[in-house]
Structure 1
Amino acid sequence: MKKTQLPKAHPMDSIMSQENNIRPNLTPAWLTPDYVEEKLCLYFKDDSLNLENLDIKPALGNGENYASVMTRINVEYTMKNTNRKESTRFLVKTTFADRDPAAKVLMDYGVYTREMDMYEQILPKLADLVRNELGDSRKLFACTVNVDRKRDSIMFEDLSLDRYRVADRLKKLDLEHTYLVLEKLANFHAAGAALAERQQGIFAKNFDRGFFNQHTRGYEPIMRNLLMALSRSLELEPVLRERYQAKIDRLVDNVMDYGERSTSIVPGDFVTLAHGDLWTTNVMFQYDDEGHPTNAIFIDFQFSAWNSPAIDLHYFFSTALQENIRLKNQPEFIQFYYYRLKDALKAVNYSGQVPSLFAFHQQFRNRAFYAAFASLIFEPSMSYNGKEEASMEQIMSSSEKGMRFKDDLYQSEEIRKKMHFTLPFLDQLGLLDIM
């Protein structure tokens, strides 16, 4: 392999600026010029490719991802047949370093092998189904440059080159964006159900481990620690403390049982491939010249699981939607999604039983604890915009630094204000009582 010279001050060797509120650089040491050049030769099917320059930068800011490392690489290269310098960008997604406590938790859930399976084996087939049988030619996911199972990494095309971008995770999604996501989600779920019928057993291995499952409780300390931080924050809100603190304290000991119960497959339910982690930064949008979203694609399939589509809906509603529509528009959103799903299942000749809208509402209600889990435990972390280092390690840690981060999560003015709406909403559904 040819050696490629880089500038001495390479970003890989630097620490990210604290002014930008970015986590310390976790770029893997193996992401070298020779490695990138080799993968690009395979991707472009041209051994004459010569990497002229490589610039490596972190792709995500503080609080934008807790389950992996995302790195953006800018490349300049030449090939014999063009005889000119080309430039483009890619994204590299990989595991946390072995020293990070998050790595052990995530490996127990099989998230890295699952996402590689998704990009190599599942997503191309789903894309064909959506394009050829549902007649939707819009992009469904990012094209893969390389899957490296030895290093638990995936190299993708950088969709920002096609003007895709992630919506603001703090402002969240309005009605127009929400309906577009629900339309694409219905197609995704219908294609997953059809693929499972046509290739029996394709989701039998390693698609049974969402955040709640019967195999591991690796997330339990994370969920307990965050609920305890929520309880501490209620000391600042006397009215909420009186009404809800005891219920939150009881939930600390029951969250895993309730979560596993909410994701247990019940005979007669419609089940399919669920995305599993559908929140704001895992959806990218493309816009027209007037600023209206024209397409939405899903990214980050680490927690995809064979389960009820209701878990995607609860999780999406609880983490990605603006507050004023999250609490008021859910029945309308479910109806919209349901009719799109029903039409898509018909188009792909799905032979299983499709529930009525009434039955699907019941299925959604039976999975409602997923809303409590997502809105009380994950959503505050997703909305974090403070100065503390945001990481799974800090959530798991009982150190002064870790406690300071967790308290900062829930004691922010925004989250305290939000709990005045979220806690009554969940409580009225019985989701904070003994279940």
Structure 2
Amino acid sequence: MKSPSSSAGITKPWMEFILTEYECKKDPRTAVTVLSHTVKSATKPGESFNAELILLDIKANVGCEGAEDASMEREYNLIVKFLTEDPLSTELIKRCGYHIKELKMYSEVIQELNQFQATHAGGQYPLNLPEFIYGKCTDKEYVLVMQNIKVLGFETNPKREGLDFEHAKVAVNHIARLHAVSYAYDKTHNFLEKFPCFQFSTAISAFFKPVVWASLANCITFLKSKKTYQDMVQKLERGRTTLPVKFAALWDDQSRHRFLCLTHGDFWNSNLMYKHSNTEGGEQVIESLKLIDWQIAQWNNPVFDLHYLLNTSTSFELRRNHAEEILRHYHTIFIEATNKMGTPVSNWNYEQFKAEFERTSLVGFLMGMCLIQGTLSKAGENINHAGSKCCTGTCCHPCKVVVDKVKTCFAKMVVSLAFKPSSSYIMQASIKRVLSPIGQELVEGSNEVLNGRLLDLLLEADEKGVLDVLSL
């Protein structure tokens, strides 16, 4: 059955089709009849630039064909993910293969890895995602349907608060499992041969470089307005021309990495969903965690996930007081898991792991610098416009079709241009213009959380000598 391309296309027959397919995995005789349903957006305007996320709640009769008296009413709470209607974002997603990766993670990869760790480690290192319901990916169709785990009590930690020590420790425990299980699996099954879409690609860094450049320009504007950080300003200004080269050397040159495995790629606060419970004494404890949003997953250096989490989702105080403990906890879980599965990693004691983490610290700083600006700024929320509404009415449908085709052609041209080295200056100027409102917000100082977190990250990087590396 043809899949809808947006929430507006969801129909009763399609819902019955996907739910019947889902239930038939457990009992081939199952038939699902939808009784009622509600559809509403899962995100606020500006929260998601690369997808349309929908909450789909369904009440249905589930029974066996030819046995009406055996049917029972059941409720399904689902998240439906479509590609964004913005042509530029859609073209970028397709160019990088983000949509294929996420569907593969839910439909095949996690199941395969969990079966492997269950066999080789007795199920000690499970990888937890929302349950996969249905998915389809072709040249013209894309939809991913998964369990809505919010109704089960899972929630994300507020991004403006960041993670405390206990939540960060649980997060690195889970990412250590992913790294260890995928590493062990690859030793006997060749992960990339089975799942080639996760092959490392420079496409991510190619688009990330101008974002780094523009975010760095915002930092310089911000620090100049303070008039007390001229030494840092000079270091950042000297490093602007060499930054793309240094970033690429650390990110793209996989021959320099100690070893590789499956990485999440977007491992930060808003992609971690925790479930809490209360003890008899009334104390709230973390019961479980599920990881979401796997579009940027790829075969890469595992320390990048740790950099991403620490620099985007924790405070300077937490990193200063607990970073060492968090890293040791990660390393312990990783070593225990790989040993348990019969694939110990040679020359990877804690000191060697820490040396690799420090070698790539520039990447961690740059990731944090960009994501803090993009996620904590109010201006950043306004950058993701839903597009013009002048052609949304039924009477304008013919016009809309023409406009959409023009937008799609233009998007293909722009994205193609973005990945050409000769276009780097144009891309830098364009993205700088898009992100400049964030720089203005930093100067105005009205967003204390944004200003505080970014300034802490800059000061920490300077204290550790990371900014000196930029200016060399």
Aligned partner of 1:117 in structure 2 is 104
**Contact 1:138–1:295 (8 Å) recurs in 2:** no
Q: Secondary structure at the match of 1:153?
A: strand
| Structure 1 portions without partners, runs of 5+ | 2-11, 13-25
Matched, 1:408 2:447: no
Report Cα offsets for 1:22-52 as digits up to 9, x if no partner. xxxx944433333222111111226631222
Aligned partner of 2:464 in structure 1 is 429
Query: Which of 226, 236, 240 lines up with 2:225 in the alignment?
Result: 236
Alpha-carbon deviation of 1:156? 0.5
Give distance in 2, aligned partners of 1:221 and 1:28: 33
In structure 2, the CA distance between the partners of 1:353 and 1:388, relative to structure 1 (3 Å rule), is: closer
Give distance in 1, aligned partners of 2:257 and 2:378: 42
Give distance in 2, aligned partners of 1:271 and 1:43: 34
Report Cα offsets for 1:186-225 as digits up to 9, x if no partner. 1111101011112125367232446xx2786123343333
Matched, 1:31 2:10: yes
Aligned partner of 1:225 in structure 2 is 214
**Contact 2:183–2:261 (8 Å) recurs in 1:** yes
Report Cα offsets for 1:124-179 as digits up to 9, x if no partner. 12222344415337661111111110323211111123222211111111111111
In structure 2, the CA distance between the partners of 1:359 and 1:349, relative to structure 1 (3 Å rule), is: same
**Contact 2:43–2:53 (8 Å) recurs in 1:** yes
Alpha-carbon deviation of 1:355? 0.7
**Contact 1:109–1:209 (8 Å) recurs in 2:** no
Query: Which of 127, 132, 141 lines up with 2:129 in the alignment?
Result: 141
Matched, 1:44 2:23: yes
In structure 2, the CA distance between the partners of 1:310 and 1:226, relative to structure 1 (3 Å rule), is: same
Alpha-carbon deviation of 1:122? 1.3
Give distance in 2, aligned partners of 1:353 and 1:29: 53
Query: Which of 362, 371, 381 lines up with 2:364 in the alignment?
Result: 371
**Contact 1:28–1:97 (8 Å) recurs in 2:** no
Give distance in 1, aligned partners of 2:266 and 2:89: 17
In structure 2, the CA distance between the partners of 1:144 and 1:400, relative to structure 1 (3 Å rule), is: same
Matched, 1:321 2:308: no
Q: Secondary structure at the match of 1:292?
A: strand
Aligned partner of 1:207 in structure 2 is 198
In structure 2, the CA distance between the partners of 1:216 and 1:275, relative to structure 1 (3 Å rule), is: closer
Alpha-carbon deviation of 1:283? 1.0
Aligned partner of 2:42 in structure 1 is 59
Give distance in 1, aligned partners of 2:366 and 2:293: 20
Aligned partner of 2:52 in structure 1 is 69
Select between 197-206 and 143-152 the one with higher mean Cα deviation. Answer: 197-206
Give distance in 1, aligned partners of 2:164 and 2:181: 26
Give distance in 2, aligned partners of 1:216 and 1:361: 24
Aligned partner of 1:181 in structure 2 is 171
Aligned partner of 2:268 in structure 1 is 279
In structure 2, the CA distance between the partners of 1:254 and 1:422, relative to structure 1 (3 Å rule), is: same
Alpha-carbon deviation of 1:71? 1.6
Structure ranking higher in helix proportion: 2
**Contact 1:70–1:92 (8 Å) recurs in 2:** yes
| Structure 2 portions without partners, runs of 5+ | 388-427
Give distance in 2, aligned partners of 1:399 and 1:309: 30
**Contact 2:61–2:74 (8 Å) recurs in 1:** yes
Matched, 1:418 2:453: yes
**Contact 1:397–1:403 (8 Å) recurs in 2:** no
Query: Which of 289, 294, 303 lines up with 1:301 in the alignment?
Result: 294
Q: Secondary structure at the match of 1:171?
A: coil
**Contact 2:7–2:39 (8 Å) recurs in 1:** no
**Contact 1:63–1:383 (8 Å) recurs in 2:** no
Give distance in 1, aligned partners of 2:298 and 2:381: 32
Q: Secondary structure at the match of 1:51?
A: strand
Q: Secondary structure at the match of 1:372?
A: helix
Select between 34-43 and 337-346 the one with higher mean Cα deviation. Answer: 34-43
Give distance in 1, aligned partners of 2:235 and 2:350: 32
Q: Which has the larger radius of gyration?
A: 2
Alpha-carbon deviation of 1:312? 0.6
Alpha-carbon deviation of 1:76? 1.6
Give distance in 1, aligned partners of 2:237 and 2:52: 33
**Contact 2:192–2:199 (8 Å) recurs in 1:** no
**Contact 1:224–1:252 (8 Å) recurs in 2:** yes
In structure 2, the CA distance between the partners of 1:216 and 1:328, relative to structure 1 (3 Å rule), is: closer
After TM superposition, the structure 1 = structure 2 runs for residues 82-121 of structure 1, keeping only pairs within 5 Å, are: 82-99=70-87, 101-121=88-108
* Higher RCO structure (Cα 8 Å, ≥6 apart): 2
Give distance in 1, aligned partners of 2:234 and 2:13: 57
Report Cα offsets for 1:45-76 as digits up to 9, x if no partner. 26631222221222123564443332211112
Select between 52-61 and 272-281 the one with higher mean Cα deviation. Answer: 52-61
Query: Which of 328, 334, 347 lines up with 1:341 in the alignment?
Result: 334
CA RMSD of aligned residues (A): 3.1
Give distance in 1, aligned partners of 2:181 and 2:75: 35
Give distance in 2, aligned partners of 1:98 and 1:162: 32
Give distance in 1, aligned partners of 2:429 and 2:110: 33
In structure 2, the CA distance between the partners of 1:229 and 1:365, relative to structure 1 (3 Å rule), is: same
* Paired positions, count: 408
After TM superposition, the structure 1 = structure 2 runs for residues 162-177 of structure 1, keeping only pairs within 5 Å, are: 162-177=152-167
In structure 2, the CA distance between the partners of 1:66 and 1:408, relative to structure 1 (3 Å rule), is: farther
- In the alignment, residue 304 of structure 1 is paired with which amino acid? A
- In the alignment, residue 146 of structure 2 is paired with which amino acid? F
Query: Percent of pairs identical after alignment?
Result: 16
Matched, 1:289 2:278: yes
Matched, 1:362 2:363: no
Report Cα offsets for 1:68-123 as digits up to 9, x if no partner. 33221111212345545432210112322243x22222322221112222222311
In structure 2, the CA distance between the partners of 1:180 and 1:388, relative to structure 1 (3 Å rule), is: closer
- In the alignment, residue 39 of structure 1 is paired with which amino acid? I
- In the alignment, residue 113 of structure 2 is paired with which amino acid? L
- In the alignment, residue 129 of structure 1 is paired with which amino acid? F
**Contact 1:53–1:77 (8 Å) recurs in 2:** yes
- In the alignment, residue 434 of structure 1 is paired with which amino acid? S
Report Cα offsets for 1:344-390 as digits up to 9, x if no partner. 11011115425111111111111111211122111222223569525
Select between 423-432 and 334-343 the one with higher mean Cα deviation. Answer: 423-432
